[in-house]
Amino acid sequence: MIKLLPGERIDDLERNGYQIIQNREKFCFGMDAVLLSGFARAYKNERVLDLGTGTGIIPILMEAKTEGEHFSALEIQAESVDMARRSVELNCLEDKIDIVQGDICQASEIFGKGTFQVVTCNPPYMRDNHGLKNPNLPKAIARHEVLCTLQDVVREASAVLKQSGRFYLVHRPQRLIEIISVLVSYHLEPKRMQFVHPYADKDANMVLIEAVKGGKSMLKVEEPMIVFEEKGVYSKQIQKIYGF
């Protein structure tokens, strides 16, 4: 029996019967994490690392959706680590997923260099000095670059990846030029990109990127993903990713 702490709840992930423990007062995963888990690829015998895993949503969903051999996940906030570990136990995935407490800025020291074929990350989108910062510290850390910057994330992703390994990132289109510049500076070549639009006639508010360590310069921009066909009605693309 998994113990729930005050304010916690168990949510159904609609995949393999998996569930996740969340606390709305702290931070709940969003659509961006789910979309990243659908965009990222992990093949047989590949080892995957999720940087800044929060409550473990990405490794749990990727274990359900891919053939990856093993999933490690790094998170600095103790409360999130505790919830993620209990969610792993709740789903009987202790042999497939490890939740490690630690700083993204030290990922290559914690796991070693060149140890993973795949790295994923749903990082803080806003620079520490931009936007209204949530007074709730766990939410602020998840949304603003309080404890790590984009450069920290990309540097450590490149360091822990094997040559030809793949890095999967979800971010905001407003920072796309900066993102590509930082990726290339750490020898991560963007290879696939997909823009996510709330509606077909609205500007993109998310971008999904796959970059390959040491890859050659050639980028494929995939068909845009549209979230809603109309108000309150998910598109078929989204329904497929969510498993509806």
> pLDDT per residue over 54-70, tens digit each?
999 999 999 999 999 99
pLDDT band at 128, cuts 50/70/90? low
Does residue 244 register a pLDDT over 90? no
Name the residue with tokens 């490149």: 158
Q: Which of 133-147, 195-209, 228-242 has the lowest mean pLDDT?
A: 133-147
pLDDT value at residue 77: 93
Q: 36: burial class by Cβ within 10 Å (0-12, 13-18, 19+)? A: buried
Average pLDDT, the chain: 91
- Note the Cα 130 to chain centre separation in Å: 22
Does residue 222 register a pLDDT over 90? yes
pLDDT value at residue 27: 81
pLDDT value at residue 25: 85
Q: 191: burial class by Cβ within 10 Å (0-12, 13-18, 19+)? A: middle
Which is it for the CA torsion 199, 200, 205, 207, positive or negative?
positive
pLDDT value at residue 127: 59
Q: Give domain 8-242's CATH number out of 3.10.20.30, 3.40.50.2300, 3.40.50.150, 3.40.50.11290.
A: 3.40.50.150
- Note the Cα 55 to chain centre separation in Å: 11
Name the residue with tokens 């963007």: 190
Give the helix/strand (H/E) hosting 193. Answer: strand 188-197
Does residue 53 register a pLDDT over 80? yes
